[in-house]
C-alpha cells in the first residue's frame, strides 16, 4: 500500500505543468489571502464594537503610507502597542486580531527576505479621556486596514 502512495506522489511531482502540489506562487497568494481575510475580519469586529460605543465627534486620522511588508509590519506593531496601552475587555478581540495580523506579516516578510526591524516597544501611557482615546485608536486601526486593503498589492513587495 505504501508503494502505491509513493508511486502516486512521484507521478504527481514529475507531471509537467501539474498544479496539484503547492508552488511558491500559490504559497505567496495563500498568505496574502490570509492577510486580507484577517484585515477584513478585524474591520468587521471594529464596526461591531463602534456600534456599542458612545458616538464620538468626527475624528480625522492620517494613516502612514503603505510601501510594503517592512512598513506594514512596523505600522501594525505600533498599532498593537497602542491597543495594548488601552487594554480593556472591549478591545481584546481587536488587539488579538491586529497582533495576529502583525505576526503573520512579520513572518511573511522574513520568508520573502525583506528587512524587518525589531518589534516596536511601547510604554503604558495614561489617558485622561479613555473613551475618546479608544474611539481615536479604533479609527486609526480602521483607517489603516481600509488603506491596506486598497493597497493589497503592497503585500507582495518588501
Ranges of each domain in the chain: 25-54+62-156
Residue 12: enclosing H or E segment and its boundaries? helix 2-14
Average pLDDT over residues 90-94: 82
CA distance 54 to 146: 22
Highest mean predicted confidence (pLDDT) among 24-33, 83-92, 102-111, 115-124: 102-111
In this prediction, residue 101 carries a pLDDT of 92
For the segment(s) 25-54+62-156, the CATH number from 3.30.1320.10, 1.20.1250.10, 3.40.50.20, 3.90.1300.10 is 1.20.1250.10
pLDDT of residue 104: 92
Could you report the per-residue pLDDT of 51-66, keeping only the tens digit for each? 776 665 566 777 788 8
Question: CA 157, CA 44: separation in Å to the nearest integer?
Answer: 26
C-alpha cell of 22?
503547492
pTM of the model: 0.73
Percent of the chain with pLDDT over 90: 14
Q: According to DSSP H, which parts of 53-119 are helical?
A: 69-85, 92-111
Residue 99 burial (C-beta neighbours within 10 Å; 0-12, 13-18, 19+): middle
CA pair distance 149, 155, nearest whole angstrom: 9
CA distance 156 to 113: 11
Amino acid at each position: 500500500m505504501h508503494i502505491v502512495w509513493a508511486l502516486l506522489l512521484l507521478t504527481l511531482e514529475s507531471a509537467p505543468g501539474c498544479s496539484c502540489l503547492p508552488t511558491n506562487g500559490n504559497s505567496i497568494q495563500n498568505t496574502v489571502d490570509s492577510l486580507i481575510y484577517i484585515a477584513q475580519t478585524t474591520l468587521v469586529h471594529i464596526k461591531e464594537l463602534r456600534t456599542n460605543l458612545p458616538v464620538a465627534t468626527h475624528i480625522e486620522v492620517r494613516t502612514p503610507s503603505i510601501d510594503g511588508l517592512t512598513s506594514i509590519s512596523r505600522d501594525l506593531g505600533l498599532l498593537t502597542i497602542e491597543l495594548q496601552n488601552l487594554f480593556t475587555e472591549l478591545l481584546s478581540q481587536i488587539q488579538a486580531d491586529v497582533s495576529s495580523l502583525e505576526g503573520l506579516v512579520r513572518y511573511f516578510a522574513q520568508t520573502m527576505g525583506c528587512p524587518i526591524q525589531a518589534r516596536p516597544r511601547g510604554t503604558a501611557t495614561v489617558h485622561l479621556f479613555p473613551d475618546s482615546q479608544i474611539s481615536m485608536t479604533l479609527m486609526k486601526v480602521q483607517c489603516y486596514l481600509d488603506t491596506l486593503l486598497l493597497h493589497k498589492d503592497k503585500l507582495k513587495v518588501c
